[in-house]
Amino acid sequence: MRLKGKRAIVTGASRGIGRAIALRLAEEGADLVVNALHAERLAQVVKEVESLGRRAIAVPGDVGSCETAKRLVDAALTELGGLEILVNVAGINRDAMLHKMTRDQWDEVLRVNLIGTFNTTQAAAIHMREAGYGRIINISSMSWLGNIGQANYAASKAGIVGLSKTAARELAKKGVTVNVVCPGFIDTDMTRALPQNIWQLMMDKIPMGQVGDPRDVANLVAFLASDEARYLTGEVINVSGGMVL
Ligand code: NAD
């Protein structure tokens, strides 16, 4: 119970990696505000968190809008009584080769992944720096190093690294740490949507020879959210079965 008494926001929590993080933080004792686009699946996650004996408040909405970020922080402060942890997981991909990528595909991915992470990080940081304590964990991707067909996604995930390292420097003296987790190839709806040949191509690149489980990412996030990780900030940590070394 490393997070007993802590209050956390998890975006993109209705399924996949976000859901696994929400449940892992709850297992460690945190109460939660959970966000995703669609209310129905989020309601299911609320029930799962409550069955672990923790509180969960659902705040559905698009993280690309700063109004959603404000609602998330307000819910934590007014309904849970505080906010110590923010985990930005909400993300989308709209893959296409650069020469075929539409401006809409570019804008949509940048808006959700990068502007979304900025909106919640800023709203939470305003509170955390006053409180003198905080843990911000942003989910990027190993694609931030560049990946064929993902100019928009890679740019958004690289942007998250720059944003997080800057926030880490600005907030270090305020007791707030900011770290980045880069999942490799994890078994979720997002990767299940890939064609079989791409799935196999990815598997061939993983030294451990197996796809990651969302809980592999959640275990690292739980550590970074805890007091045990007090001396880490501005780090970018891969969870990739050795795919990125
Ligand atoms: P997923 O598609 O299964 O889930 C995405 C979640 O984000 C859902 O809860 C969805 O409702 C939410 N979401 C999407 N758009 C949103 C918006 N505008 N506002 C609020 N919520 C929104 O994805 P996943 O595989 O669980 O990935 C989660 C995160 O991890 C993403 O940021 C993704 O880029 C990143 N990631 C995943 C992998 C992987 O292999 N699965 C690898 C690297 C990085």
What are the residue ranges spanned by the domains of the chain? 7-236
Task: Compute CA distances 62 → 13, 19, 68, 245, whole Å.
Answer: 12, 17, 6, 34
CA of 188 to the centre of ligand 1 (A): 9
pLDDT at res. 220: 98
Q: Whose CA is nearest to atom 6 of ligand 1?
A: 12
Q: Which of 99-102's residues contact partners 24+ apart within 8 Å by CB, and which partners?
A: 101/151, 101/152
pLDDT (average), residues 124-153: 98
**Catalytic residue check, 153:** yes
1's tokens = 């119970």
Q: Are 56 and 79 in contact (CB under 8 A)?
A: no
pLDDT at res. 152: 98
Euclidean distance between CA atoms 150 and 162, whole angstroms = 18
Torsion of CA 109, 110, 115, 120, to 10 degrees: 40
Which residues does a 6 A CB cutoff place in the pocket of ligand 1? 11-12, 14-18, 35-38, 62-64, 89-92, 112, 139, 141, 183, 185-186, 188-191
CA of 154 to the centre of ligand 1 (A): 14
117's tokens = 């992470």
pLDDT at res. 186: 98
26 pLDDT band, cuts 50/70/90, is very high
pLDDT (average), residues 129-147: 98
Ligand 1 atom closest to residue 14's alpha carbon, by position in its atom list? 9
More confident residue, 167 or 190: 167
pLDDT in tens, 31-63: 999 999 999 999 999 999 999 999 999 999 999
pLDDT in tens, 181-207: 999 999 999 999 999 999 999 999 999
Query: For 7-236, CATH number?
Result: 3.40.50.720
19 pLDDT band, cuts 50/70/90, is very high
pLDDT at res. 2: 96
Q: Whose CA is nearest to atom 41 of ligand 1?
A: 186
Ligand 1 atom closest to residue 111's alpha carbon, by position in its atom list? 18
CA of 92 to the centre of ligand 1 (A): 6
Ligand 1 atom closest to residue 15's alpha carbon, by position in its atom list? 9
Ligand 1 atom closest to residue 140's alpha carbon, by position in its atom list? 44
109 pLDDT band, cuts 50/70/90, is very high
Q: What are phi and psi of 108, to 5 degrees?
A: -65, -45
Catalytic hit among 106, 133, 153, 185: 153
219 pLDDT band, cuts 50/70/90, is very high
CA of 173 to the centre of ligand 1 (A): 31
67 pLDDT band, cuts 50/70/90, is very high
pLDDT averaged over every residue in the chain: 97
